[in-house]
Structure 1
Amino acid sequence: MPVKMQIQAMTFASQALDIYDVSDCISIASHIKKEFDKKYGGGWQCVVGSNFGCFFTHTQGTFIYFALETINFLVFKGAS
């Protein structure tokens, strides 16, 4: 993921943590996904939590995995 999008992902995550309780991972993920869809077009996916596994195919250049506080974030655009 380009650096500008990486910064945006972390900004959206930080905003979501300000709005929602840290235990409300579904609302946090939904917030980030909706913001990415608005800014970069549809098809974005977001996984939020402290313990998860995943296996998926994503569009090249659209993947980021990071942590804020004690929560992990995975944001990517699904493959076409």
Structure 2
Amino acid sequence: MLHANANRKAVVKNTDMAEEMQQGAVDICEEAMEKYTVEKDIAAYLKKEMDKRYGPTWHCVVGRNFGSSLSRSNLISFYFTYSYVTHETHSFVYFYLGQSAVLLFKSG
């Protein structure tokens, strides 16, 4: 179980990421949620901090109304845009922090 502050519970739905990196992503996301209330600002902060900590290039989606799926070929499908992206191995996590879903992956 990943640690989060008392007000928000972190629940990982899908990942191929090491637990230490998952915890780092949750910690950065909590920092972002303390600083920002707009989802695009939270996503931008999380992306920039992951780039700094783990090297570029990270991509992030934060919101309440989207879904994702991961196939065996590491293909992610976003139902809300019908687009497809490929991610690097061991660099994908889809989790909830409180009421917000976070999709974070490295590609490029």
| TM-score of the aligned structures, taking structure 1 as reference length | 0.91
Structure 1: which 4+ aligned runs deviate by more than 2 Å?
A: none
Match of 2:106 in 1: 77
How many residues matched?
A: 77
Kindly name which structure, 1 or 2, has the bigger radius of gyration based on alpha carbons.
2
Letter in 2 for 1:77: K
Displacement of 1:68: 0.9
Provide the C-alpha distance between the structure 2 equivalents of 1:6 and 1:50, rounded to a whole number of angstroms.
20
Q: How does 1:1-80 map to 2 (within 5 A)?
A: 1-21=17-37, 24-53=38-67, 54=78, 55-78=84-107, 80=108
| Partner Cα separation in structure 1 for residue 96 and residue 66 of structure 2 | 13
Structure 1 portions without partners, runs of 5+ = none
Aligned residues with identical type, % of pairs: 42
Residue 16 of structure 1 aligns to a residue in which SS? helix
Q: TM-score, normalised by structure 2?
A: 0.68
C-alpha RMSD of matched pairs (Å): 1.0
Give unmatched runs, 5+ long, in structure 2: 1-16, 68-77, 79-83
Higher helix proportion = 1
SS of the aligned residue for 1:56 comes to strand
